[in-house]
Amino acid sequence: MPKIVDHKEYRRTLLDRAVVTFSEQNYADVSMRDIAKDLEVSTGTLYHYFPSKEELFCALFLHTAQASATEIVDEMCDLTTFDSRIDRLFDYFLKRCDKMRRQFLFSTDMLRNDLPAKARNLLHRWASELERRLTGVLGLDKDTGMAVFLFLAGSLYGGQVLPPSHNLEPAFNAMKKMIKKHKGD
């Protein structure tokens, strides 16, 4: 009897496993053959699910971006006060900085390697959508929502360049306090 494969699920599994490869290596430095080897699949199998390295990378970015954006917003939706939502957002982000840094590295790779318009558009849509959703769920004006988005994005960069012993929590607490004060004004 032939093996029945759930192609959507297998594709997601490949993407979940490819995160490690692209987290550890620059887009330009890895080939489809290298990726297939890391995933322990044939190159043909990889090409069956992703016609090119660019398609794989875009699918990977979208896969991780959608999951993180949905998770962040879902974490706040059941809360009824602004203070509880902002606390949850910042606590969530601080606890998952390592996971979020991957998204930051993927987006940096997209820009650094001058991937085609499709990839750039994907990156721009993701950033705009995340900023819009955060602004909406927090009930902030557009400028303050953008400031929150920029702070969170900047913290990912800070997490890359600051020594591992550097504690980001005091900065997160200071920003929460400023946003709460601004919202209360």
What pTM, to 2 d.p., does this model score? 0.75
The domain tally of the chain equals 1
pLDDT tens sequence across 96-107 = 776 777 777 777
Asked whether residue 79 is assigned to any structural domain, the reply reads yes
Q: What would the two tokens of residue 35 be?
A: 């990726």
Asked whether residue 46 is assigned to any structural domain, the reply reads no
Asked whether residue 69 is assigned to any structural domain, the reply reads yes
Asked whether residue 17 is assigned to any structural domain, the reply reads no
CA 176 remoteness from chain centre: 21
Q: How far apart are CA 185 and CA 127, in angstroms?
A: 28
Asked whether residue 15 is assigned to any structural domain, the reply reads no
Contact assessment for residue 106 and residue 60, using Cβ atoms and an 8 Å cutoff: yes
Asked whether residue 40 is assigned to any structural domain, the reply reads no
Asked whether residue 13 is assigned to any structural domain, the reply reads no
When pLDDT is cut at 50, 70 and 90, the band that residue 119 belongs to is confident
> Domain containing 125: what range?
53-184
Contact assessment for residue 179 and residue 144, using Cβ atoms and an 8 Å cutoff: yes
pLDDT tens sequence across 59-101 = 888 888 777 777 877 878 888 899 999 999 898 888 877 677 7
